[in-house]
Structure 1
Amino acid sequence: MAKQLAALVCLLVLALDINAGILGIEAEIAQNKVKHVRFLIFECRDPSQKAFKLGVAAIVLLGLAHVVANLFGGFVCICSRDELDRASANKQLATSCLVLSWIVLLVAFSLLIIGTMTNSKSKGSCGISHHRYLSVGGILCFIHALFAVSYYVSAIAITDEGRKMNERPVGGSQMAARPHQGDLV
């Protein structure tokens, strides 16, 4: 049952991130279809309501994917260099994937918000060109999927390691070879 839940969570995170990435790229395509005049880095553009809606949907899906991966994966932390040296490979991988997923989330989230906000106005505006923010944010959603799923899988592996360590009898076969305190030697 636990393996089925883990597979379901992985598929859910992948589906959310992939859909967020596709919506971000679709928002960029919709934004490029509106009338605009460009001169060097300056541009006058009419906002696209479709790009705005797609951008908001991409932001929501990216946030949901991150929440699901972190909620079901738990929180894995390495607080010191000594703890890093003693940590298992799964714990080191989980921590690095957690940090990288947060970094990618912040960059993708920022780019998607900037690209979406340029389309939130009711009338056209002129200013510095905001090209490719939505599509780059969408591509980063795919990268976020890799790190979020890697984090979740390694966090589950840490939980399984802990469970196996607790199930093992203390001392194993060596315990049977030692006499009990009450026995005479």
Structure 2
Amino acid sequence: MAKNIGFLVCLLIMALDVVAGILGIEAEMAQNKVKHLKMWIFDCRDPSHQAFKLGLAAVILLSLAHVVATLLGGCTCMCSKEEFNKASANKQLAVASLFFSWIILAIGFSLLIIGTMANSKSRKLCGLSHNRVLSIGGILCFVHGLFTVSYYVSATATARDNSRHHDRNATQA
């Protein structure tokens, strides 16, 4: 059973990110259904409560997927370029995947928040058009899922390699 836990964690992370991506795209579609007036780059739009709820759910699920992957994957840190060059391929992949997952999280999270707040009940927004912000944030959720699963798999492989290495050294001593 313990060997299947990694597979289930990967499935959980991907499911959270895929659902977040779908909700972001659905929020964009709900936002496009409300009445709006467009002149050049300016857009006056009534807020969509449905788009707000879907966008908020997407933000929460994206955050939850990142937290699950980061906490269950463990800490994979490197302090210098020399340490990175000496590290195993699994550890290098873990660090690179974690780095890119944080960047994609920051961009996707920001886009989803901007789109969600544009649909807040207290706003009748007239200003620069926020076209496709929610759907781009939703698409980035899918990309985030790929990097976080890559991080989780490589971080757990690194931890397993380190424990085997320590076990081998303990039996030799």
Range into which the TM-score falls when normalised by the shorter chain: over 0.9
Deviation of 1:75 (Å): 1.0
Whole-Å separation in 1 of the counterparts to 2:101 and 2:46: 34
1:95 counterpart residue number: 95
1:19 counterpart residue number: 19
Q: 1:160 to 1:43 in 2, by over 3 A?
A: same
Q: How does 1:150-169 map to 2 (within 5 A)?
A: 150-168=150-168
Number of residue pairs matched by the alignment: 173
Whole-Å separation in 2 of the counterparts to 1:29 and 1:104: 22
1:180 counterpart residue number: none
1:86 counterpart residue number: 86
**TM-score between both structures, scaled by the size of structure 2:** 0.96
1:121-164 residue CA offsets vs partner (Å, 9 max, x unmatched): 33522111011110000000000000000000000100110121
Letter in 1 for 2:128: I
Deviation of 1:170 (Å): 6.2
1:37 counterpart residue number: 37
Deviation of 1:81 (Å): 1.4
Whole-Å separation in 2 of the counterparts to 1:149 and 1:123: 37
Whole-Å separation in 1 of the counterparts to 2:134 and 2:84: 37
Letter in 2 for 1:45: R
Higher helix fraction (1 or 2): 2
Letter in 2 for 1:83: E
Q: 1:71 to 1:127 in 2, by over 3 A?
A: same
Q: How does 1:137-176 map to 2 (within 5 A)?
A: 137-168=137-168
Q: How does 1:44-59 map to 2 (within 5 A)?
A: 44-59=44-59
Whole-Å separation in 2 of the counterparts to 1:100 and 1:169: 34
1:124 counterpart residue number: 124
Q: Which SS does the other structure have where 1:6 is aligned?
A: helix
Instruction: Say what the alpha-carbon RMSD is for the aligned residues.
Output: 1.5
Letter in 2 for 1:38: K
Q: Which SS does the other structure have where 1:168 is aligned?
A: helix
**Mean Cα deviation higher: 120-129 or 62-71:** 120-129
Letter in 1 for 2:45: R
Unmatched 5+ stretches in structure 2: none
Whole-Å separation in 1 of the counterparts to 2:169 and 2:146: 37
Letter in 1 for 2:51: A
The structure with the larger Rg is: 1
Q: Which SS does the other structure have where 2:131 is aligned?
A: coil
Q: How does 1:102-117 map to 2 (within 5 A)?
A: 102-117=102-117
**Mean Cα deviation higher: 142-151 or 121-130:** 121-130
Q: 1:123 to 1:163 in 2, by over 3 A?
A: closer
**Mean Cα deviation higher: 24-33 or 156-165:** 156-165
Q: Which SS does the other structure have where 1:164 is aligned?
A: helix
Letter in 2 for 1:81: K
2:8 counterpart residue number: 8
